[in-house]
Amino acid sequence: MAAIARHCGQAFAGRIVANKPAQSAPDPFEGQALVMHVRGCTDPTRRIEIPFHVGDDHSRTWVLTRTGGGVRLKHDHRHRDGSHDNVTMYGGDTARAGSSTRQEFPVDAESIAMFQREGRGVSLTNTWAMEIHPAKFAYELSRPRGEQNPEGRMFRVEFDLTRPVGTPPTPWGW
């Protein structure tokens, strides 16, 4: 949290470094400008909000919250009018201590129930991860191979922390 908080107010461009298998045709991430903005830093020791802009889509915000035993990652998804998507506030809590540079967030029970309700069985084994190093920040989604995911899934975006970019628009609903 402290390493990310050092970048409060700044935005950074990213690039996809893994996207296997691509989700659909056309893939919503490929060929788009990818920008993360460390925006919500009112109390960065407890909560940080990081909108993730994909081209003109400003629907995604990563919300990191300190818990009694670690850190929680939730994905806030909104529509253009600011209303919540049916699939929103999913994520998980750190299950292990992680390190000063990498934290992993296995899918939590609340998210599993939502994914089942919304017909997204493929997401039941999600693990998200975030890494921060002096020159880069990474966001990652992985799924092991299994009955719901015969090919597994690895999606990773890396952001260059050495070159801030212009501040993107306010994310939808914020």
What is the residue extent of each domain of the chain?
2-165
Q: Which residues contact 90 (CB under 8 A, 6 or more apart)?
A: 74, 75, 107, 110, 111, 114, 115, 123
Look at the pTM and tell me if it is higher than 0.85.
Answer: yes
Handedness of CA 111, 13, 84, 41 (dihedral sign): positive
| Average pLDDT per block of 10 residues along the chain, 174 residues long | 95 95 77 95 93 97 94 97 97 89 96 96 94 97 79 92 97 94
Provide, rounded to the nearest whole percent, the portion of the chain with pLDDT above 90. Answer: 77
For domain 2-165, the question of CATH label 2.60.120 is answered with no
What digits encode the pLDDT tens for the residues 28-44?
888 899 999 999 998 98
Query: What pLDDT does residue 170 have?
Result: 96
Mean pLDDT of all residues belonging to the chain: 93
Tokens representing 173 are 């609903």
Tokens representing 19 are 């996207």
Question: Rounded to an integer, what distance in angstroms lies between the CA atom of residue 119 and that of residue 110?
Answer: 14
What digits encode the pLDDT tens for the residues 126-147?
999 999 999 999 999 999 877 7
